[in-house]
């Protein structure tokens, strides 16, 4: 099944779940914060590059599955990664990192040598370098396809019989598939099969960004499913909004990757 189709199926399922929740109780949207603010590491970084970051759009929130801190701004997204403890800001194309070397700026496709997913880019790739990357890319999309097919099957089961959503086995199977999807997204973000050919750098930038979106999407959807089953509808509105936003971002990334592939092979 086309990965873009998965996003559409998930959004339709999301809307169905919301209707179910509304039918059994009041659907309470969270009150909008009167005023957001930057704190701690985000405040430090925002003060370093104020015109780039811009004003905050909401307060920092944490991904409950990996502990990462996130905060949206007028210019992009502030991120604190729990795994390696660095704070960064990205506008979708460039990244500013307040890391061990102080404030540094790079393209999203690039990595500093101290970063765990550092990739060597070559200006003189060999045919084997080109083949290695294309093979890796195909494997990454295959790894996304497998859990997407499982999710598709389970949500088709839900479409045929919405009562199946109350089954613990169904819930566990769906969450397991999303965990596999998350792992596939993580693998998209690290290329270790040789030097990255310079002509493929823009494509790889999009693939890494897609992988990040897939990880966030999977995490947020797992959180949403657990929220629905736990009955905490007070936060359902904001979580649903993030899921739909991430789904749209994934669809856009697939279109951009397709366009970039066409450009490469023209």
Alpha helices in the chain, H assignment, sequence order: 3-24, 40-48, 50-53, 127-160, 168-187, 201-230, 236-265
**Collapsed DSSP state (helix, strand, coil) of residue 138:** helix
Return d(Cα 243, Cα 219) in angstroms, integer: 9
Return d(Cα 95, Cα 111) in angstroms, integer: 10
Q: Do the Cβ atoms of 17 and 165 come closer than 8 Å? A: yes
* Per-residue model confidence as pLDDT tens digits over 159-194: 888 777 778 888 889 899 999 999 999 888 888 888
Tokens found for residue 60: 């920092």
Residues 6+ apart with CB under 8 A from 183: 143
> Model's pTM, two decimal places?
0.65
Say how far residue 175 (Cα) sits from the centre of its chain: 16
* Per-residue model confidence as pLDDT tens digits over 135-164: 998 999 889 888 888 888 888 887 888 777
């Amino acid at each position: 099944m086309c990965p873009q189709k998965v996003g559409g199926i998930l959004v339709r399922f999301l809307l169905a779940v919301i209707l179910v929740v509304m039918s059994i109780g009041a659907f309470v949207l969270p009150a909008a914060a009167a005023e957001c603010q930057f704190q701690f590491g985000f405040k430090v970084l925002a003060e370093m590059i104020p015109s780039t970051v811009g004003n905050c759009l909401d307060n920092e929130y944490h991904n409950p599955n990996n502990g990462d801190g996130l905060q949206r701004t007028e210019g992009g997204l502030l991120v604190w990664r729990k795994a390696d403890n660095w704070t960064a800001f990205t506008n979708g194309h460039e990244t500013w990192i307040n890391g061990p070397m102080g404030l540094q700026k790079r393209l999203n496709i690039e990595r500093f040598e101290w970063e765990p997913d550092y990739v060597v880019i070559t200006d003189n790739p060999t045919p084997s370098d080109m083949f290695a990357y294309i093979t890796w890319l195909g494997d990454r999309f295959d790894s996304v396809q497998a859990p997407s097919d499982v999710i598709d099957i389970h949500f088709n089961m839900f479409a045929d019989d919405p009562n199946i959503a109350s089954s613990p086995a169904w819930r566990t199977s769906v969450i397991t598939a999303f965990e596999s999807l998350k792992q596939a997204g993580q693998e998209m973000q690290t290329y270790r099969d040789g030097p990255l050919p310079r002509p493929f750098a823009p494509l790889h930038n999009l693939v890494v960004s897609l992988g990040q979106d897939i990880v966030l999407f999977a995490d947020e959807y797992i959180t949403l499913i657990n929220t629905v089953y736990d009955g905490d509808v007070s936060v359902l509105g904001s979580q649903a909004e993030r899921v739909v936003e991430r789904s749209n971002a994934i669809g856009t990334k697939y279109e951009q990757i397709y366009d970039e592939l066409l450009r490469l092979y023209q």
